[in-house]
Structure 1
Amino acid sequence: MSKRGPWLQGASLVFFLALCLGIGLLGSWVTAGSVTSWYPTLRKPSFNPPDWVFAPVWTTLYILMAIAGWRIWRHTPHAGSRLPLLLFALQLVLNLCWSVTFFGFHSLSGAVVVIVALDMAVLATMFSFRRVDLLAVGLLVPYLLWISFATVLTVAIWRLNQLLAADGAAVILA
């Protein structure tokens, strides 16, 4: 455990919350325009959740991620702690990249690539966290489950809309 004082402990928790929720806000800002225009035009699988589910789920997940990252930071004040925190930062960047790729660029195939990389980054983060704090790993389990579901959903949307594009091409060529 770190010998950092209570003020620094509290300030660092606020930092991690601001960082994770800030990533979420940036992602929602990128997403906002497409949710009402482009996204409704896509074919979606029957298991696609209603739109209202996403904000509370993601808010909860970002808070859990922040607490997990903070727990690692406070347990690892030495230079050997860099890898777990770098992996944590990488998965946050990939999380934002998925929103930018899917909703900003409207690239379904690109979103599949990004979310698979995100899955791997979260697993690597959890693996590196386990040597430091098992509770931090546990706090990331709901996130891993949700992005695993999001991976299946992203692949399904990509496949359904690839079929749509192929159907459209067949109509144009006919």
Structure 2
Amino acid sequence: MTLFPIFLATCAVPAAAGILFKPGQWYRDLDKPSWTPPNRLFPVIWAILYTLMSLAAARVATLAGNDLAMALWGLQITINTLWSAVFFGQHRIFGGAIIIALLWAAVLATTVAFAALDPLAAVMMVPYLAWGSYALALNISVWRRNGAAVA
């Protein structure tokens, strides 16, 4: 588990994007569904997800034949970094949905690749996949409620 701090530090990049591109008044003024979580919950959820995905990556990183799995982990964390800048920074709701859809696919592929090497690592990725499903549904709902004018 000596690699865990490195993977957790890597997660600081998308976390920093989330800090740089905050929801702000624009987001508060959007029409959101009743099942939108309060803003204060997002940092807690992401802290848990980043910890789990870093633990999972640290487990897989030392295994033989991990090239694809680790490349997919790198891809998903890169895509993850883009969402806050597009959604909150550029106010592109539909663009955010596209990014989350790509992220969801990358997290699914990572989870499947991890499962082939370390089933526990794959289980650690499942909450991230679940959150991605919820986030995609939320993003699409916000887009539909606010119209293509804010896409």
TM-score by length of 1: 0.81
Aligned residue in 1 for 2:10:
19
Q: Any idea what the Cα deviations from partners look like across 1:120-160, whole Å, max 9, x if unmatched?
A: 10111111111100000000111111110000000000000
| Contact 1:24–1:62 (8 Å) recurs in 2 | no
Aligned match of 1:45 in 30, 33, 37? 33
Question: Which residue identity is paired with 1:152?
Answer: A
- Report how many residues are paired: 150
1:59-70 to 2 correspondences below 5 Å: 59-70=47-58
Identify the match of residue 114 of structure 1 among 82, 99, 118. 99
After superposing on structure 2, the runs of 4+ consecutive aligned residues of structure 1 that deviate more than 6 Å are none
Cα distance, 1:24 vs. partner?
Answer: 3.7
Give unpaired runs (5+ residues) of structure 2: none
RMSD (CA atoms): 1.5
Match of 1:128 among 104, 113, 118: 113
Mapped partners of 1:37, 1:30: distance in 2: 15
Q: Does structure 2 retain, via aligned residues, the 8 Å contact 1:24–1:59?
A: no
Contact kept? 1:84, 1:129, Cα under 8 Å: yes
**How much does 1:25 deviate?**
2.5
Distance in structure 2 (CA, Å) of the matches to 1:153 and 1:25: 20
Q: 1:1-174 to 2 correspondence within 5 Å?
A: 9-10=1-2, 12-20=3-11, 22-32=12-22, 35-76=23-64, 80-162=65-147, 165=149
Give the secondary structure class of the aligned counterpart of 2:32.
Answer: coil
Q: CA deviation at 1:54?
A: 0.6
Structure 1 residue 104: Cα displacement: 1.3
What is the TM-score normalised by the length of structure 2?
Answer: 0.93
* Paired residue type of 1:46: S
Q: Identity over the aligned pairs, expressed in percent? A: 37
